[in-house]
Amino acid sequence: MSGEEEIRLDAGAAKKALEGMRGKVDAVVISGYLSVRNPSHEERVAAMAARILGLPVVCGHELTSKLGYEVRTTTAVMNARLIPVIRELLDSVISVMKDLGIGSPLMVVKGDGAVMKADTALMRPVETILSGPASSLTGAKALAGTDDAVVIDIGGTTTDIGILNEGFPRIEPEGARIAGRRTRVMAADISTFGIGGDSRIVVNGKDIVLSPVRVIPLCIAASKWPAVKACIAELASVTDDRPEENYALEDIVQDTEFFILAHAAHTEDLPEHDRMFLDALKAGPRRIADLCREFGLPPHAFSAGELERRGFVTRIGMTPTDLLHAEGSYTEYDADTSRIAAGYLARKCGLSLEGFIADAKDRVVRRMTASVMEKMMLDGSGSDELTDAQKEILRMSLDPSRKDYALRFELRKPIVGIGAPVGAWLPKVAEMLNTELLLPPDSEIGNAVGAITGSVSETATVTVRAAGTDMAEEPECDVFTGREIRTFARPQEAMEYARSECARLAREMAKRSGTNNPVVELSVDENVMACSGKTFFRGAVITAKATGKPDLT
């Protein structure tokens, strides 16, 4: 595990492989086994790739100093795939800044809430994963003036929940999961739940059901497309008296729901009726029932749910945002359309308008409360999934029909709300969790506040390892910096060098990321073995964290 070269690099084969990539790739990943111990092979192939292809080159050892070849390679591949995307984004932002006469350096938020220069982000874009929620955590600290809190960021699609401990976001120690894959990206430990202002609300039979699927709120759609407003207006006095039936959520299409084209796509492989459906949407939002009458086809002729999952179409429908418009507490868009649609759905499930709004809002609050409780329970157990017993406790604590006894949670941190609709939802959530709610002014721009108050922060790690065959109390030691291997006769010498070099590397990284005078904090995790009353040094991991405010001059 020391990174010694066992097989010489076949430079000829590497050159041939790279030449075969001309015109076929946008970036190149070089990832070698144990490259964090000895990166020489990666560096030689990277130099060759830059010379032959003239494209961005990502080396696995540059993104992490941790062992784990597969995870390191996954991280490097994701990083490379993001480079063209972030380059286009940064070029656009820089162009706009020039047009506006803004000469300040451009900083980009990382997934752990820190910031880095645009040049650094261009080469390490994977580190920006989860930067939005992480920025909200930093903004919550600045706006609420608290160092310890549960931060709930309510957006359109999701509710993101993170924890502030002593002024810093809690970091996921094993690296963030992206598309179900573990990476070496150090990001804030944030849990995302499928409930937000644009979550779909459905009446299935007579039950009100929340779906994690994001739809366009009716109030917004009616403001944009007059046809949506006109169709909903026709439902003002209509009562749906069809027989009650329960369907799978993806098969339900209500008279208050429309579809709109999401993007242009190749449709040659689609069934004829689905092509007809997509062609009809080119003129604007349409309801399934209207298209069925127009084409003389039954509703199941169109695979609307499948087309939605594949990204061909976007649904328009009832959402939590519409509930607020219908009750009059939030009226930025077309509140009349939301009220008519809510009234139609209320009659469908046998409730008054007020009863429907109250019931649906209660379900949203309970879903958000359950999300907070799940986050805290998982963090407390260190697991990725609730046990069956925990799920049952969660269900029982949120069951409003339980009369003989009740289970109640007490959250021992205040809640800080971030996002425009937090005032509508979080007071009840805090009440159910028996905790204080902090709703700072300007909480709707907490994400932006986090971006402008963030600091540069970079971490370096150096490993010291005793020679495998040396069982002396003071063995010969190797120091692995990720760039070189140095051997020392005694642990004290190795540790002294490792501390100094680790601090230097972190300081160097922080300066490249945009701060001139970083403060460095060192931590040491030693591995010692006791035997026969003696202590034997076996190794250590030295971590240096360099932090400082970005240089904006």
Residues constituting the chain = 553
pLDDT number for residue 200:
94
| 180-184, 246-250, 377-381, 415-419: range with lowest mean pLDDT | 180-184
Q: Where are the domains of the chain?
A: 11-104, 199-360, 455-548
Quick one: which of 94, 83, 152 has its CA closest to 124?
83
Average the pLDDT over 284-306 and give the result.
88
Distance CA 234, CA 225 (A): 15
pLDDT digits (tens, 9 = 90+) for 49-108: 888 888 778 777 666 656 676 777 877 888 788 888 888 899 999 999 999 999 888 999
CA torsion sign, 14 to 20 to 22 to 27? Answer: negative
Question: What CATH number matches the domain at 455-548, 1.20.950, 3.30.110, 3.40.50, 1.10.10?
Answer: 3.30.110
Average the pLDDT over 356-372 and give the result.
94
pLDDT number for residue 174:
67
Question: How remote is the C-alpha of 279 from its chain's centroid?
Answer: 34
408 vs 225: which has the higher pLDDT? 225
Residue 391: pLDDT over 80: yes
> Measured between alpha carbons, how far is residue 164 from residues 146, 161, 167 in Å?
9, 10, 6
Residue 176: pLDDT over 70: no
DSSP secondary structure letters along 278-331: HHHHTTS-B-HHHHHHHHT--GGGS-HHHHHHTTSEEEEE--HHHHHHHHTS--
Residue 19: pLDDT over 60: yes
Residue 333: pLDDT over 80: yes
pLDDT number for residue 260:
94
pLDDT number for residue 93:
94
Q: What are phi and psi of 63, to 5 degrees?
A: -95, -25
DSSP secondary structure letters along 521-551: EEEEEEEEEEETTEEEEEEEEEEEEEEE---
Q: Taking the C-alpha atoms of 284, 287, 293 and 297 in order, what is their torsion angle to the nearest 10 degrees? A: 100
Residue 265: pLDDT over 80: no
pLDDT number for residue 187:
77
Instruction: Sort strands 57-59 and 28-30 into parallel, antiparallel or unpaired.
Output: parallel
Count of H helices and E strands in the chain? 18, 22
pLDDT number for residue 256:
94
Quick one: which of 31, 45, 43 has its CA closest to 484?
43
Q: Which amino acid is at 26?
A: D
Distance CA 287, CA 315 (A): 10
Q: How confident is the model at residue 245 (pLDDT cuts 50, 70, 90)?
A: low
Task: Check if the beta carbon of residue 442 is closer than 8 Å to that of residue 144.
Answer: no
Average the pLDDT over 11-38 and give the result.
81
Q: How many CB atoms lie within 10 A of CB 528?
A: 12
pLDDT digits (tens, 9 = 90+) for 97-143: 999 999 888 999 988 888 999 988 888 888 887 788 888 888 998 89
Quick one: which of 104, 497, 257, 250 has its CA closest to 488?
497
Q: Taking the C-alpha atoms of 422, 427, 433 and 437 in order, what is their torsion angle to the nearest 10 degrees? A: 80
pLDDT number for residue 474:
82
Distance linking the first and last C-alpha atoms of the chain: 45
Residue 212 corresponds to which tokens in the numbers above? 């994690």
Quick one: which of 172, 171, 184, 183 has its CA closest to 65?
184
Helix (H) / strand (E) containing 430: helix 422-432
Mean residue pLDDT across the chain: 86
pLDDT digits (tens, 9 = 90+) for 485-495: 889 999 999 99
**% of the chain surpassing 90 pLDDT:** 36
pLDDT number for residue 365:
94
Average the pLDDT over 152-173 and give the result.
84
**Owner of token pair 């425009």:** 420
Residue 7: pLDDT over 80: no
Quick one: which of 167, 224, 157, 251 has its CA closest to 196?
157
This prediction's pTM: 0.74
pLDDT number for residue 180:
57
pLDDT number for residue 432:
93
Q: Which residues partner with 485 through β-bridges?
A: 480
Q: How confident is the model at residue 471 (pLDDT cuts 50, 70, 90)?
A: low
Quick one: which of 191, 180, 77, 167 has its CA closest to 114?
167
pLDDT digits (tens, 9 = 90+) for 301-326: 888 888 888 888 999 999 999 999 99
Helix (H) / strand (E) containing 217: strand 216-217
Task: Check if the beta carbon of residue 304 is closer than 8 Å to that of residue 254.
Answer: no
pLDDT number for residue 324:
95
